[in-house]
């Protein structure tokens, strides 16, 4: 019987790794991304697959690698921490310092609690809102992604359209009782939200992505949510797992000037390691302190790797680099260049499209329609998007089929190669 080490020495091709994955992983993958590509390594703005093919990385680990792979300063911080200990299941100075940095940066945070993943943070944010308000119902937006909890899996990507505010489970194994406590509204529709808040007096919170996937909030929408929550005594949760420390150093709260009651953070704050957090005022966060609120109002939360010092060290150094002059200007410059090259090429070819999102996070819908919510943000012909993204990958561009993440390591040479790939992708969909 061969050991894993022997297998690694003998199996070198991507096809062989794919075959092995199919034997031991459901659907042959981790559930995150296309299992037909096996990434071997990353450096700077590039990744390489197991066959040695090189790609410009616009997936960046689904967002956390804003500084690129193997940033030397982050690596130094991690290597300094590793000999001192990997995790303790106890307070550590790196985790405390990271909490201080988050509180300094994020408007709604007076205190934070660490967890290991963004989905965990969103789950606890919902539970915290229920504990604080003593109400059960949650209002979320159709198409909004908030992790893998039962509540989050309501109307994330419903295949059939139902009447609002009915919630549709996107996963097996979720009881009807969960759906009964989740109300669904269309994104960017304040009137619908106002109606639901007027009809239900047991809503604990509204949870929203300030940038829903890549759908931008209409002017006044986020402030309108803030005003409606204040009027009805409902908490506002901003899911900033993606937008935190990306749209601006203080996240969407800083960029849009709207402060929620609770926010969740992830990806960038762990510097590429498993770490996330939720934060709020000290008054709300006291529900994590049994000595202050008593057993009946206490929100139990613990996690083996929560606030581990290696992730905290990586996150601290990442945040330090992002505070330096010009970091966000450069990120937006790169994103703007990527948007323009695609817009110009598609316009020249006469292909209807909408570039949706922010310079720091965006992608294309192949439609002439305005993309304002889940039901309107779709391709006129989904196959156009399939061909476009497949051609990009064939020409050395690594990205998700519905999202492009710029990073600070993208070079002028990367942009030139991306432009060439875009021209070939536009030619491919023109000929299809």
Task: Show which residues are catalytic.
Answer: 145, 239, 267
**Cβ atoms of 155 and 127 closer than 8 Å:** no
User: Residues with Cβ < 8 Å from 358, sequence gap 6 or more?
Assistant: 211, 216, 247, 335
* Paired tokens of 338: 């990527």
Peptide bond preceding 271 in cis form (omega within 30 of 0): no
Q: Residue holding tokens 């999202």?
A: 403
Instruction: Indicate the DSSP class of residue 218.
Output: P
**Are 276 and 116 a contacting pair, CB within 8 Å?**
yes
State the SS3 of 251-264: HHHHHHCCCCCEEE
Burial class (CB in 10 A: 0-12, 13-18, 19+), 316: buried
Closest alpha carbon to 128 in 263, 295, 259, 292: 263
Q: Is residue 210 within 8 Å of 222, Cβ to Cβ?
A: yes
């Amino acid at each position: 019987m061969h050991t894993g080490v022997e297998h690694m020495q003998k199996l070198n091709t991507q096809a062989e790794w794919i075959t092995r994955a199919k034997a031991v992983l459901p659907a042959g993958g981790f559930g995150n991304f296309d299992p037909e590509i096996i990434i071997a390594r990353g450096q700077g703005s590039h990744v390489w697959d197991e066959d040695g093919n090189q790609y410009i990385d616009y997936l960046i680990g689904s967002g956390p690698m804003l500084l690129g792979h193997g940033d030397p300063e982050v690596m130094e911080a991690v290597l300094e921490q590793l000999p001192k200990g990997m995790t303790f299941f106890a307070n550590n100075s790196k985790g405390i310092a990271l909490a201080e940095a988050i509180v300094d940066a994020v408007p709604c945070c007076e205190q934070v609690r660490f967890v290991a993943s963004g989905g965990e943070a969103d789950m606890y944010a919902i539970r915290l809102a229920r504990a604080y308000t003593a109400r059960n119902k949650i209002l979320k937006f159709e198409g909004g992604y908030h992790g893998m909890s039962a509540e989050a899996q309501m109307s994330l990507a419903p295949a059939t359209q139902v009447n609002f505010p009915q919630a549709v489970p996107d996963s097996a194994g979720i009881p009807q009782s969960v759906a009964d406590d989740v109300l669904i509204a269309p994104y960017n529709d304040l009137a619908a939200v106002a109606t639901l808040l007027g009809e239900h007096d047991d809503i604990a919170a509204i949870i929203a992505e300030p940038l829903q996937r890549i759908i931008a909030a209409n002017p006044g929408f986020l402030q309108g949510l803030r005003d409606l929550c204040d009027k009805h005594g409902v908490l506002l949760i901003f899911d900033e797992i993606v937008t935190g420390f990306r749209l601006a150093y203080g996240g969407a709260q800083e960029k849009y000037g709207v402060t929620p009651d609770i926010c969740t953070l992830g990806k960038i704050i762990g510097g590429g390691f498993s770490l996330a957090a939720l934060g709020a005022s000290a008054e709300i966060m006291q529900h994590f302190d049994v000595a202050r609120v008593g057993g009946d109002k206490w929100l139990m939360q613990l996690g083996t790797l929560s606030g581990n010092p290696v992730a905290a060290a990586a996150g601290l150094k990442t945040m330090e680099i992002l505070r330096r002059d010009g970091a966000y200007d450069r990120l937006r410059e790169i994103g703007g260049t990527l948007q323009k090259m695609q817009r110009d090429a598609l316009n020249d070819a006469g292909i209807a499209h909408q570039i949706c999102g922010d310079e720091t996070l965006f992608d294309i819908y192949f439609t002439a329609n305005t993309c304002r919510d889940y039901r309107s943000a779709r391709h006129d012909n989904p196959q156009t998007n399939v061909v476009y993204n497949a051609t990009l990958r064939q020409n050395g561009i690594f990205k998700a089929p519905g999202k492009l993440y710029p990073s600070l390591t993208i070079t002028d040479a990367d942009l030139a190669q991306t432009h060439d790939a875009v021209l070939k992708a536009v030619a491919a969909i023109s000929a299809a």
